[in-house]
Structure 1
Amino acid sequence: MSYGKGNNKNKKFSSSKPSTPRFGDDKRKKSSEGGSSFSKDGNKKFGTYKGKPKFEGQPKPKVVKSLNDEIRLNKYIANSGACSRRDADIYIQSGNVSVNGVVVTEMGYKVKPSDKVVFDGSLITPEKKEYILLNKPKGFSTIGDADKQTSNVMDLVRMATKAKIQPIGRMDKSTTGLLLFTNDSDIVRKFNLPQQRSPKVYQVSLDKNLKYEDLEKVQNGIHIDEHRIHVDEIDYVENQPKSEIGIKLGSANVKVVRNIFEHLGYNVLKVDRVMFAGLTKKNLPRGTWRFLTEQEIINLKNA
């Protein structure tokens, strides 16, 4: 059975034995469709990255924005980093915001990028939205301050932009794979919501083979600390030991992936995120970052 839906018909996780259900084959139907194994880059088979990490990005795509594009004043203020949208509304209502020299107290007022906005006595300019995708190597964490021996992921993308970007979700130093950075507060908020269900795919390496009955338990949903954990798909990785597992779920919290297998008595040796909301590791070696294309940004907002 082909992995995923829509245009992902050529991607799949499958086992090394014909008798074992393939990734995405919940109804145990057979398929005559061909295709390569689902992989880190979306096209090639799973493999180990060899070579030293490269920390340079790829050329930034040019995005032309019309001067007529209007946004709400509170969002303009929030984009500048002055305060949150909610706090911006308070400043607007209190008469502390002016547009082109005129005080604005109207809620929902819209401004153009060319307008001069003064917030609490200071001229502000909204940051341009930046979206950066990193293939994170080992040894870097999203919370590096907790461990002085661990470097922060921001060290890998610091030279990419002057914008105040932040990673979406958390990753410990041992987890590798796709990590998205942005200064778009709407995207950060969207992907941190518990009900956000855009697909994330992980390859998990366990200390021993995953029993088929445990695989079925995960597929059917398991309860951890009185919470039911639902996954979209799970299967053995093709042509790999049964300790190599592919798992697809909506959560951007890597800790959930580890908890699933540890709850069943397995030690998780490695977790590698190979897909995030439709973004893959294609042409993105370990340790390398790149800017998203305009179409990828659109897809991300609609995910």
Structure 2
Amino acid sequence: MTQTSHPTSLGGTVNFARYSVARVGYGAMQLRNSSGDREAAIALVKRAIALGVNHIDTAEFYGDGFVNHVLRDALRGEPDVVVVTKIGADPNPGQESPIRFAQRPEELRASVERNLKSLGLEQIPLVNLRRADIGPHIAKGDQLVDIEDQIATMVALREEGKIATIGLSAVSLDIVRRASSAGIACVQNAYSLVDREFEDVFRFCAETNLAWVPFFPLGGAVRGMPKVTEQPEVIAVADRLGATPSQVGLAWLLKQSENTLLILGTSSVAHLEENCAAGSVTLDEDAMRELDAIKVGQGAIC
């Protein structure tokens, strides 16, 4: 497939342990909204690859496996695309909540096996452990599991060759520090221009050269959560630079540290192309001062 872009136009690259990926990646969660048009979902993934995206973030619990199956079909013949999935929750079809916590070691192992099958892989390049001890939805009872027990399971899966690299998602600084001796490649947390609740985790990642993967990068993921694109300062900078407000918000994230990696989700080709173009937006010192002065709040955990 001929690529129409290059990783340098996607903000450069970030190292994920043994992998080097473009800093603008694709978050596949929104593909679950395309269950009625599988071919369109596959075409969107192929367009992302054509734009230079070589890192895609997914989970078996996105659309009860639908998203992983789309990726399996779309990525045939694309060996250089790094697929990252997350475990710690499983599909919960037919229930009020579409997912349920699955934090116990045996559940983590079973989740990896399901991801391997649905993705059609012999080894998953990177698996994020999605913890459940912070945020509005906190695990209870036997789903409250020590990080040491979970990491031991993931290290065993790595030694068995089922996963290549370990990451963390939705975690506190204490959890990151306790897990880091196992060789952690990245951390995913909610973080944006209007939500810097996990600034301490971000700083730790920047100082220790861990890849930092902010989710909800434009805020607004839940009702009452501020949106980056609605901030007057963001709109003003966007107008001045000839960019969109979302591109400015994403460019601000890329500017925070060289190890920041975006996983931008959409089910729209036009929006995908707009997101990828954010890697080429340059924020000058004046723009950064205006943006840094925006009052921040707290968001939510994915």
TM-score computed with the length of structure 2 as normaliser: 0.25
Larger Cα Rg: Structure 1 or Structure 2? Answer: 1
Q: Which has the higher contact order (CA 8 A, sep 6+)?
A: 1
TM-score computed with the length of structure 1 as normaliser: 0.25
Structure ranking higher in strand proportion: 1
